[in-house]
């Protein structure tokens, strides 16, 4: 750092942008109040062709906030949201904010065994779930001790947010529409969404403050179950107001397909658009031709995605018929954008893919490429008010440009620590120049212009198409399988996903010679989210272990990488 406090990237900072933002000292709920006042009849979300206006979004959120408080939710209580992308997710999020409570977003790919953790660990008071996931919630709730169970559960039907008939221009694939309109049998003691809204409860005063806890998204370390990341209204507000990096405003139309439970989908699909007063075209799940039609029909201007979506879109036999000319900003992360695909975007559509980097702990982006000066396969530069360094992971000494070390970050969006894990929180931060820096666990380097590049991970994480898979969590689940004696999960290269999940398994004595790889995969599909399910299974007689008895997972991973292809 120079004497005037400048970092190398400041020499290349976009002239149109301030280096730091004036972050509002208000809550996330206030953002909706402002947009609903400014744009009451403007579409906040479009879902299957049906619009939800900012005014209606606020009215429904207030009604649901009243119901939550009637169900016993008090200031600081946790409410789990367990559903796919849908307008009700956003209503529920802002209802929890209005009720002065805390959202616990849960991956809708999880199953009952996994959902138990999201009841017990955050001491969740109420769960709001989709109808097709209600059975998992009921099973999980019954499995936890009576004193830890949910007080109430609320069920959402996706179809309730859809129009009666969807027009051809935005028609959903038959399989997706059938799934959205399905009516599974629901637990009798779960409250229906419409009943909650119609109950007529008026919420009490909104008393939450900027430094109150607002969001508890879960991420995982290498040795335990997922840990909650404590984000306040203030830490989330920092990136919420940072949409100007990509020219976002009330005139913007964004395509929302990244899952809203994920911190990136939360930021760009729930927080940023409501603050800006932008319109979001909402996809329930990724489907390439539907994405192409929605961009064309609604003249989408902004799209945050992962590179595999762009690759898949280009793979459609219909992509030449899509009109992408309305797009002005295309960004994302989760995996590096292949050079050839980036060149194709530029040559065919004049679009620069602006890669970014962030973590759950940093409320999504801490780094981003300015679209006017983007570098390929690069994390970008530290954004508004962010100071990032590269340090030796052992000595913690700062390293010069070009040398590989651990990326550490200080900024207004950095979380406040891990829920119920003070030791992990203390270990996650170091002091540099009198400021706390978060240890990302990612190895990278900074070039002489202040742009950052990732090279490896200190943490034992598998990145499968942008989904983070934590081996220890999958191993803990596999130990429940009646066929498995021991298991070690490693990441292996995959042509499409980047990385995929491999299970190295020691079978129980009675299963040896009888169990197959498919048996393990089939069991996994029933007990864990699909992206965590091992795609490759290898049976061994014993797992390699260190003198201390720890499984040598890195040895197995290196051994697999060195094995000849085929």
The residues that bridge with 499 in the sheet, in sequence order, are 493
The whole-angstrom separation of Cα 507 and Cα 394 is: 37
Phi/psi-derived region of residue 103, left when phi > 0, alpha when psi is between -120 and 50, beta in every other case:
beta
Per-residue model confidence as pLDDT tens digits over 443-468: 999 999 999 998 877 767 788 888 87
Residues with Cβ within 8 Å of residue 22, at least 6 apart in sequence:
none
Give pLDDT, residue 100.
Answer: 98
| pLDDT band per the 50, 70, 90 thresholds, residue 105 | very high
What is the C-alpha separation between 510 and 495, in angstroms, rounded?
36
Residues contacting residue 274 through CB under 8 Å, at least 6 positions apart: 31, 32, 35, 44, 54, 57, 90, 94
**Distance between CA atoms of 268 and 266, rounded to whole angstroms?**
6
Residue 480 CA to residue 79 CA, distance in Å, equals: 28
Q: Please determine, for residue 220, whether its predicted confidence score (pLDDT) is greater than 80.
A: no
Q: Is residue 342 very low, low, confident or very high in pLDDT (cuts 50, 70, 90)? A: confident
Kindly report the pTM of this predicted structure. Answer: 0.89
Q: Average pLDDT, stretch 260-271?
A: 96
Give the integer Cα–Cα distance in Å for 95 and 103: 10
For 251-280, b/e burial (b = at least 16 CB within 10 A) is ebbbbbbbbbbbbbbbbbbbbbbbbbbbbb
Question: Residue 106: which of 247, 216, 257 has the closest Cα?
Answer: 216
**pLDDT in the model for residue 4:** 60
Above 90 in pLDDT, residue 392? yes
pLDDT of residue 413 exceeding 60, the answer is yes
Which homologous superfamily does the CATH classification assign to the domain defined by 462-562? ANL, C-terminal domain (3.30.300.30)
Strands 467-469 and 462-464, sheet pairing: antiparallel
Predicted confidence (pLDDT) per residue in 275-308, tens digit: 999 999 999 999 999 999 999 999 999 999 988 8
Please give the helix or strand (H or E) that residue 452 lies within, else none.
strand 452-457
Q: Where are the domains of the chain?
A: 21-332, 462-562
Would you call 294 helix, strand, or coil by DSSP? helix
Q: Quick: pLDDT tens for 419-446.
A: 999 999 999 999 999 999 999 999 999 9
pLDDT of residue 319: 87
For the chain, percent of residues with pLDDT exceeding 70: 97
Sheet holding 353-359, edge to edge: 50-53, 43-47, 279-282, 253-256, 302-305, 329-332, 353-359, 364-368, 381-382
pLDDT grade, residue 114 (50/70/90)? Answer: very high
Instruction: Decide: 155 and 97 in contact? Cβ < 8 Å.
Output: no
Residues sharing a CB contact under 8 Å with residue 503, sequence separation 6 or more, in sequence order: 474, 478, 487, 488, 489, 520, 524, 534, 536, 537, 538
Tracing tokens 């991420």 back to the chain, one arrives at 219
Task: Write down the pLDDT at residue 386.
Answer: 97
Residues 507-562: tens digit of each pLDDT:
998 999 999 999 999 999 999 999 999 999 999 999 997 665 678 888 898 888 88
pLDDT at 222 over 70: no
CATH superfamily of 21-332: ANL, N-terminal domain (3.40.50.12780)
CB 451 within 8 A of CB 377: no
Alpha helices in 351-442 (DSSP H): 422-427
Residue 334 has pLDDT above 80, yes or no: no
- Please count the other Cβ atoms lying within 10 Å of the Cβ belonging to residue 99: 29
Are 399 and 411 contacting, i.e. CB atoms less than 8 angstroms apart? no
DSSP labels for 491-525? EEEETTTEEEEEEEEEEPGGGTTT--HHHHHHHHH
Of the listed ranges 97-106, 120-129, 426-435, 469-478, the least confidently predicted one is 469-478
């Amino acid at each position: 750092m120079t004497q005037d406090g400048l970092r190398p990237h400041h020499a290349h900072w976009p002239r149109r942008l301030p280096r730091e933002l004036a972050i509002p000292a208000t809550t996330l709920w206030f953002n909706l109040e402002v947009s609903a006042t400014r744009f009451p009849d403007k579409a906040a979300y479009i879902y299957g062709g049906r619009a939800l206006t900012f005014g209606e979004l606020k009215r429904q959120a207030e009604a649901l906030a009243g119901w939550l408080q009637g169900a016993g939710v008090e200031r600081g209580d946790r409410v789990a949201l367990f559903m796919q992308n849908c307008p009700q997710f956003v209503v529920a999020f802002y209802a929890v904010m209005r009720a002065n409570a805390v959202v616990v977003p849960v991956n809708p790919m999880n199953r009952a065994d996994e959902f138990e953790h999201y009841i017990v660990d955050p001491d969740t008071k109420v769960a709001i779930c989709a109808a097709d996931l209600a059975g998992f919630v009921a099973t999980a709730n019954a499995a936890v001790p009576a004193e830890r169970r949910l007080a109430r559960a609320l069920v959402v039907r996706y179809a309730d947010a859809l129009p009666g008939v969807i027009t051809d221009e935005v028609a959903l694939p038959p399989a997706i529409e059938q799934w959205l309109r399905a009516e599974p049998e629901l637990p009798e003691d779960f409250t229906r969404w419409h009943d909650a809204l119609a109950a007529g409860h008026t919420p009490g005063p909104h008393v939450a403050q900027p430094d109150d806890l607002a969001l508890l998204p879960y991420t995982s370390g290498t040795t335990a179950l997922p840990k909650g990341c404590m984000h306040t209204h203030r830490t989330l507000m920092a990136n919420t107001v940072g949409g100007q990096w990509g020219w976002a405003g009330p005139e913007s139309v964004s395509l929302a397909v990244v899952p809203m439970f994920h911190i990136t989908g939360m930021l760009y699909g729930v927080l940023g658009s409501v603050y800006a007063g932008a319109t979001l075209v909402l996809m329930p799940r990724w489907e390439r031709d539907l994405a192409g039609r929605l961009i064309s029909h609604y003249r989408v201007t902004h799209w945050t995605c992962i590179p595999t979506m762009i690759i898949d879109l280009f793979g459609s036999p219909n992509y030449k018929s899509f009109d992408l000319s309305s797009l002005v900003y295309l960004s994302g992360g989760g995996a590096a954008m292949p050079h050839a695909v980036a060149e194709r975007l530029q040559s065919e559509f004049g679009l620069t893919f602006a890669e970014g980097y962030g973590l759950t702990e940093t409320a999504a982006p801490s780094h981003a490429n300015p679209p006017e000066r983007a570098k390929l396969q690069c994390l970008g530069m530290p954004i508004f008010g962010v100071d990032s360094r590269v340090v030796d992971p052992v000595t913690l000494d700062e390293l010069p440009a070009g040398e590989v070390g651990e990326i550490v970050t200080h900024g207004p969006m950095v979380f406040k620590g891990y829920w119920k894990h003070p030791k992990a929180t203390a270990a996650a931060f170091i002091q540099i120049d009198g400021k706390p820096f978060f240890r990302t666990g990612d190895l990278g380097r900074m070039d002489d212009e202040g742009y950052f590049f990732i090279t490896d991970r200190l943490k034992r994480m598998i990145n499968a198409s942008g989904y983070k898979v934590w081996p220890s969590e999958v191993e803990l689940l596999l130990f429940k399988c009646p066929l498995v004696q021991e298991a070690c999960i490693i990441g292996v290269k995959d042509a499409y996903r980047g990385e995929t999940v491999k299970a190295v398994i020691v079978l129980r004595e009675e299963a040896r010679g009888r169990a197959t790889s498919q048996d393990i995969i089939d069991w996994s599909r029933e007990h864990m989210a699909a992206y965590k399910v091992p795609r490759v299974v290898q049976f061994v007689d014993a797992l390699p272990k260190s003198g201390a008895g720890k499984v040598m997972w890195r040895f197995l991973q290196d051994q697999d990488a060195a094995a000849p292809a085929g």
